[in-house]
Amino acid sequence: MNLFGVFICTLFVLEGWTARRLPGLCPTMTIRNGRVRYRQRGKIARFLCNPGYKLAGDRYSVCLGTNWDNQGSKCVRPGCKTANPPANGLIYTSYGGAVLNFYCKSGYGLNGANITYCDGVRWDNPLPTCFGKYLG
């Protein structure tokens, strides 16, 4: 059987004869050009973007103990300088050109981040390069 979706576990601590729920232990998150709303006493975070921005990534994140299961969502907007693919590489664009995914051709490795996001003005990572791998 396959199960899909978000599952939330609630931890109770026995104190004498009384059980109490432990509060969320995950740190507060921020999202540039947007805001984070919390539900379930800080166990679920919802990402919202300011007008003119689109959410790239998951809309929700769940607190799993002391860490969030997703911290990679970004609020993006087209407007950054057009990027050329690296030599021996390719670019896949999404969100109207506001998100770039970089890939290198067979026999080459990527030097740098494989993804970069535009906030309407600048990319959040330097553009990567592709280098020849030793095939020995």
Domain at 12-75, CATH class: mainly beta
Q: Do the beta carbons of residue 68 and residue 111 sit within 8 Å?
A: no
**Please, which pLDDT band fits residue 23 given cuts at 50, 70 and 90?**
low
Same fold, 12-75 and 89-132: yes
The answer to whether residue 12 scores a pLDDT higher than 70 is no
Report in angstroms the alpha-carbon separations of 101 from 41, 85, 109. Answer: 35, 10, 14
Domains of the chain, by residue range, sit at 12-75, 89-132
Mean pLDDT calculated for residue range 102-118: 96
Q: Residue 41: its pLDDT value, please? A: 87
Q: Residue 135: its pLDDT value, please? A: 60
Q: Do the beta carbons of residue 102 and residue 128 sit within 8 Å?
A: yes
CATH 3.30.930.10 fits 89-132, yes or no: no
The answer to whether residue 6 scores a pLDDT higher than 90 is no
Tens of pLDDT, residues 42-94: 899 999 999 999 999 999 999 999 999 988 899 999 999 999 999 999 999 99
* String of DSSP letters for 32-93: TTEEEEEETTTTEEEEEEPTT-EEES-SEEEEETTEES----EEEBS-SPP-PPPTTEEEEE
